[in-house]
Each structure stands twice: as structure tokens, then as C-alpha cells.
């Protein structure tokens, strides 16, 4: 596995810092789905705890996580800490105790106490993460996935997907590769009930979208698999995909 040493050290630090409060540590995202690119992917982790953790524990763990982030891929580590009681039955939007991604690194370095006090709330993205853990997740430590994570209702998952792509028209300028592949995988779920990675979503798009968009999707896939940087502002593709997604979302919720 890519970055096995980093993942192992992360798990060890979870056990050291949270001790008896730790339910489990779970790997999800591109590594778990076997489509990891060290140049384009991050390492996605979820920590489940039994009860409240202190700010002192959060700061200690964050200090270790920041060190490990430097040893990880270019996009670094991303993780959330969630209490077990919100996992089964699943609560949406899901409360979390702490979250980190490299975009928050400076905030923690400048004001660690303020960071751990404020980086707590509810996150709609966790519905999608829980789905992937239920389908593809890897237990790094602790209880089996089926003992910890409950079913995510379709309406919550659909809302989580929409939350991630609703600003695609603006976001495609800054993150064209991500948005193109993500729009495809969202459509793959709504049309065919498939839970796909970004790479798999793009491959699905090559057989399920109009041929005029295939070169665009192919370029996004090439970018995802290589060091190539994509630069495109394709509003026509985004508009058509968003319109199709909104229509399918309505149908999915009616069926439920």
C-alpha cells in the first residue's frame, strides 16, 4: 500500500493519544478504492471515538498529524474524528469532533488552541465518506465496519453529493479535473446506483455521456492518472451534467 509507514504511524498515534476512548481507525477514499495517484490523491482517514475527547488530546494528536502530513503525498492527509453514537443510527449532517486537511495547516500552526476549539461542528461530506467506508473501507484498528457504521439513507447521501457539486460552475475553473470526474461519478450513482471513485466515474462517463464530451473526460482521466495539470473552463459540460443530476435527484427522492 502507498505510504504504508505513514498510515501505520497515524494508527499508532491514534491508539496512544485516545487510548480506551478509541473505537477504530478506518481508511477510505482513493487508496481503499485502489485508484491512488501520489501526485493527485490525499490519504483519507476516519477516527471513531466512544466519548468526548479533550482539547489537550486534540492538540497532541494534531501535532503528530502535522508531522505525518509532511511525510505523506503532495495533497497530504485528511481526517475527521466522529463519536460512535453518530455512526449508527447515522446522523445527518454528521457532527464531528475535529477535522484536518492541509488547507487548515496554517490555522493550526498559528493558533492551535483556537483551532481545536473551533474545528468542531457538522459536515455533510461525512455521509459520502460513510458510504465509501461501508462499501470499500479498510479497518486499520478497532471494531469491524459493520459493527460501527449504520446505513446512510439515500436522501442523505444524495444531499451530500449535491452539496459537493452544487457550485461546479464556479469550481471547475480552479479544479477542472476534480469537478469533471466528480460530476460523472455522481451521475453514475443517480442513473445506475453505482458507488464509484473519481477514476471509475470518469470511465463510466466515457460510455454514458454525449460523445462530444468524451475528449474532455479523457483529458480529466489522463490528468488524474499522471502529473498533467488540466486547465479548462467547460461551462457547457457542467450545465448539462447539473441539469441531468437535478432531474435524477428529484426522481430518486420520489422513489424513496
118, 61: one domain:
yes
pLDDT, tens digit only, all 256 positions of the chain: 679 999 999 999 999 999 999 999 999 999 999 999 998 899 999 999 999 999 999 999 999 999 999 999 999 999 999 999 999 999 999 999 999 999 999 999 999 999 999 999 999 999 999 999 999 999 999 999 999 999 999 999 999 999 999 999 999 988 999 999 999 999 999 999 999 999 999 999 999 999 999 999 999 999 999 988 888 777 899 999 999 999 999 876 556 5
Q: Does 143 lie in the same domain as 59?
A: yes
Residues 15 and 109 in one domain: yes
Query: 207 and 109, same structural domain?
Result: no
Note whether 216 and 107 are same-domain residues: no
Same-domain status, 130 and 192: no
Identify whether the C-beta of residue 149 lies closer than 8 Å to the C-beta of residue 87. Answer: yes
Q: Which domain holds residue 69?
A: 4-151
Residues 189 and 217 in one domain: yes
Q: Strands 121-123 and 94-96, how do they pair?
A: antiparallel
Say whether both 143 and 173 belong to one domain: no
Domain boundary among 91, 126, 151: 151
pLDDT at 229: 87
Among 151, 173, 204, the domain-final residue is: 151
**Residues 234, 131 within the same domain:** no
83 plus 197 within the same structural domain: no
Q: Are 88 and 150 in contact (CB under 8 A)?
A: yes
Query: Among residues 103, 131, 151, which one ends one of the domains?
Result: 151
Q: Where are the beta strands (DSSP E) in the chain?
A: 22-28, 43-49, 77-83, 94-96, 98-100, 121-123, 138-142
- Cβ(69)–Cβ(77) under 8 Å? yes
Alpha-carbon distance of 125 to 157, in angstroms, equals: 9
pTM: 0.94
Grid cell locating 29: 477514499
Do both 109 and 55 map to the same domain? yes
Q: What is the CATH number of the domain that holds 13?
A: 3.30.460
- Count: domains in the chain: 2
Clarify whether residues 164 and 190 are in a common domain.
yes
Number of residues written out for the chain:
256
Q: What is the pLDDT of residue 252?
A: 65
> Residue 12: which of 126, 142, 109 has the closest Cα?
142
pLDDT of residue 193: 94
Amino acid at each position: 500500500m502507498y505510504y504504508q509507514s505513514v498510515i501505520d504511524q497515524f494508527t499508532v498515534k491514534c491508539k496512544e493519544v485516545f487510548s480506551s476512548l478509541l473505537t477504530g481507525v478506518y481508511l477510505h477514499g482513493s487508496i481503499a478504492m485502489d485508484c491512488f495517484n501520489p501526485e493527485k490523491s490525499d490519504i483519507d482517514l476516519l477516527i471513531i471515538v466512544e466519548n468526548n475527547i479533550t482539547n489537550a488530546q486534540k492538540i497532541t494528536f494534531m501535532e503528530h498529524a502535522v508531522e505525518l502530513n509532511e511525510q505523506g503525498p503532495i495533497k497530504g492527509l485528511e481526517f475527521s474524528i466522529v463519536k460512535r453514537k453518530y455512526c449508527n443510527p447515522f446522523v445527518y449532517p454528521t457532527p464531528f469532533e475535529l477535522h484536518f486537511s492541509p488547507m487548515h495547516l496554517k490555522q493550526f500552526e498559528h493558533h492551535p488552541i483556537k483551532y481545536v476549539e473551533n474545528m468542531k461542528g457538522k459536515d455533510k461530506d461525512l455521509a459520502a465518506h460513510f458510504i465509501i467506508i461501508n462499501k470499500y473501507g479498510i479497518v486499520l484498528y478497532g471494531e469491524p465496519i459493520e459493527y460501527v457504521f449504520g446505513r446512510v439513507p439515500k436522501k442523505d447521501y444524495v444531499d451530500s453529493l449535491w452539496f459537493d457539486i452544487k457550485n461546479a460552475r464556479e469550481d471547475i475553473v480552479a479544479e477542472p479535473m476534480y469537478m469533471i470526474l466528480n460530476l460523472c461519478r455522481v451521475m453514475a450513482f443517480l442513473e445506475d446506483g453505482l458507488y464509484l471513485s473519481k477514476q471509475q466515474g470518469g470511465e463510466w462517463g466515457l460510455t454514458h455521456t454525449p460523445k462530444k464530451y468524451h475528449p474532455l473526460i479523457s483529458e480529466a482521466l489522463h490528468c488524474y492518472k499522471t502529473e498533467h495539470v488540466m486547465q479548462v473552463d467547460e461551462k457547457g459540460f457542467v450545465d448539462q451534467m447539473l441539469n441531468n443530476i437535478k432531474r435524477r435527484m428529484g426522481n430518486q427522492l420520489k422513489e424513496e
